[in-house]
Structure formats: structure tokens, C-alpha cells
Copies of this chain bind each other. A is one copy, B any other.
Amino acid sequence: MVDLTQLMENEVFMAFASYATIVLSKMMFMSTATAFYRLTRKAFANPEDCTGSGKGENAKKYLRTDDRVERVRRAHLNDLENIVPFLGIGLLYSLSGPDLSTALLHFRLFVGSRIYHTIAYLTPLPQPNRALSFFLGYAVTISMAYRLLRSKLYL
């Protein structure tokens, strides 16, 4: 049997595992933020969620959208759209044997850009704060995809 712990002795792979876990944990925090704003602002998407805030017809008025909740949901969806490619491309890139320092630069820039993107989205900071952090994360993922395809293309 192959000793899988050897995979985890590869420094690039360990670094990828650490940064991927951090950025996924950050993304999961968005669910908590949505739940927090839904509860404090009493803005729910499902009739059965309103019963804690009122009874019968009174509860129905909480079945509404709220700017703050929608903002968190947009930030969450943007995370999904960008972190999924990072996970897939980053995993394969990590296995393709890149330099440790180059790989660390990619992972750190991506995670930093996504954390800054969330801050810029939720504060909200004026543009182009959010746009630039989005494009930085985007460019990092494209750079990993390019390096991967250049070295390992098999169609």
C-alpha cells in the first residue's frame, strides 16, 4: 500500500492544502453571515423560517428580501464562482511539480485577494477596490491554468 502521508510531506501540496482549507473556511463563514443578517433583519426566503418571528399572517411579512442579506449572498456566490476554479486548477497545479516559492506566491495572492474581496464587498468599500481584488484572484488562477496546460497538456 502506498504511504499516503508521503503525499503530505510534499511541501507544495501541504501549502495548497493549508491555503485551500483557509479560503474554504472563509467561504463557509458567508453562510453564517447570511443566517445572522436574516435573523437580525427578519428577512427570510421560506415561510417555515418566519415562525420564530411571528405567528400566522403576521409571520408572512418577514418573507422578503433585504439589501444587506442580498449583498452577503452575492459575495457568497462570487466566492463559489472563483474558489471552485482555484480548488480544481490549484490541486492539479500543485501535483504538476511547480517551484515551492512560485506556488506559495500564487496561493498567498489568491487567498489574500479573496479575503480583501469579501471585506470590500461587505463594508462596502468604493470601487475599484472590489473589482481589483476580483481580477487579482482571477489572474492568479489563469496563471496556474496556463502553467499547468503548458507543461502537462494531454488531449
Contacts and interface: CB of A to CB of B under 8 A. Distances in A.
B6 A2 contact: yes
Given A2-B10, A52-B127, A84-B83, A21 B89 contact: yes
A126 B20 contact: no
Contacts of A96: 5, 8, 17
27 contacts: A1-B10, A2-B3, A2-B7, A2-B9, A4-B7, A8-B97, A14-B152, A18-B149, A18-B152, A19-B155, A20-B88, A21-B92, A21-B145, A21-B148, A21-B149, A24-B85, A25-B85, A27-B85, A28-B85, A28-B142, A30-B81, A31-B82, A31-B138, A46-B74, A48-B125, A48-B130, A76-B81
Interface string A33-65: 000000000000110110110000000000000
Interface residues of A, number: 68
Contacts of A77: 77
Q: Copy number in this complex?
A: 3
Given A2-B3, A5-B97, 14 more contacts: A1-B9, A17-B148, A17-B152, A19-B155, A21-B89, A21-B92, A25-B85, A31-B138, A46-B71, A48-B125, A48-B130, A52-B127, A80-B84, A84-B84
